[in-house]
Amino acid sequence: MALTYRCLIIDDESPAHKALASHISKFDDLEHSGSAFSGMEAVKMLNENTYDIIFLDINMPVISGVELMELQPKRPLTIVTTAYSDFALSAYQNDAIDYLLKPISFEKFSKAIEKAKIYYSGKSIKKENNANEKVLSQRVNGQMIDTLLSDIVYIESLGNYMKLYSKKLKSPIIIYGSLSSIADEIDSNDFLQVHRSYIVNTSEITTVTLKSLTMSNGEIVPVGRKYQILLDGLIIR
């Protein structure tokens, strides 16, 4: 069976939805699987559904496209679609695969889709091989250290380094890298970014307030203003 890519259009203007939907309809392997007309609506849809590619506008009320990318570091492959050229650097820093300026020609749209397919063709083997992988491997003091994902309480960013807090260790593990670099290696169903400097294991949260979380090890983790929407409906296990 041929692979079909589920697409979500995120834009606050109806004409943009119509134009992108028209482009999508010309590909047999693309499926228009959803439309969001605001950043808040998009966050809800991304949390409740599975998509392969999102077409993301930048200039939206309440939650902009750039803010949405920061809120959802493990979001589907992102193609930015905007009338503004000013945000290209921010988009690429947040791992957008392409940046298309409106009005978007079918030729430019097609080239962006080819980039997306090339990306997925390279990722498919990795995903298949690691389908049951539950271990995070990181280099610590010159040695590779394996940590069970289920043992991680939360991860704190410290510039170019991170502190990884484990249930089985009294002291955190200090590892090199950024939260965005580690995001692809952890299970998005169990981990949630709640602050620009923190990713938490949702099963290790004991108490939730608007501005902070209490973790199973007793530590308090702050919740960033832009991330508070992600906590709506969070079930504490």
Residue for token pair 């608007």: 210
HEC-encoded secondary structure of 58-122: CCCCCCCHHHHHHHCCCCCEEEEEECCCCCHHHHHHCCCCEEEECCCCHHHHHHHHHHHHHHHHH
In a domain, 236, yes or no: no
DSSP letters spanning 144-155? EEEEEGGGEEEE
Whole-model pTM: value is 0.57
Give the integer Cα–Cα distance in Å for 128 and 148: 19
Instruction: Supply the pLDDT for residue 144.
Output: 59
* Same domain for 11 and 111: yes
**The predicted structure's pLDDT at residue 129:** 42
Kindly state whether residues 141 and 100 are assigned to the same domain.
no
CATH number at residue 166: 2.40.50.1020
Contact 6, 50 (CB under 8 A): yes
For residue 154, the cross-strand partners are: 165, 200
Domain range for 59: 5-129
- pLDDT of amino acid 187: 61
Digit-by-digit pLDDT tens for the chain (237 residues) are: 457 899 999 999 999 999 999 999 999 999 999 999 999 999 999 988 989 999 999 999 999 999 999 888 778 899 999 999 999 988 888 888 899 999 999 999 999 999 888 777 644 333 444 445 567 766 555 455 778 888 999 999 887 778 899 998 888 888 777 787 777 677 667 889 999 999 999 999 999 988 999 999 999 999 998 888 888 766 555
pLDDT of residue 101: 96
Structure tokens given for 29: 């392997």
Asked if 140 contacts 175 with a C-beta cutoff of 8 angstroms, the reply is yes
**Measured distance CA(213)–CA(204) in Å, rounded:** 10
Domain boundary among 71, 100, 129: 129
On whether residue 237 sits in a domain, the answer given is: no
Please check whether residue 197 is in contact with residue 156, taking contact to mean a CB–CB distance below 8 angstroms: yes
Same domain, 26 and 97: yes
Asked whether residue 196 falls in the same domain as residue 165, the answer is yes
Report the distance separating Cα 57 and Cα 212, nearest Å. Answer: 30
pLDDT for position 126: 39
Out of 75, 108, 129, a domain closes at 129
Shared-domain flag, residues 150 and 116:
no
Asked if 195 contacts 223 with a C-beta cutoff of 8 angstroms, the reply is yes
How many domains does the chain divide into?
A: 2
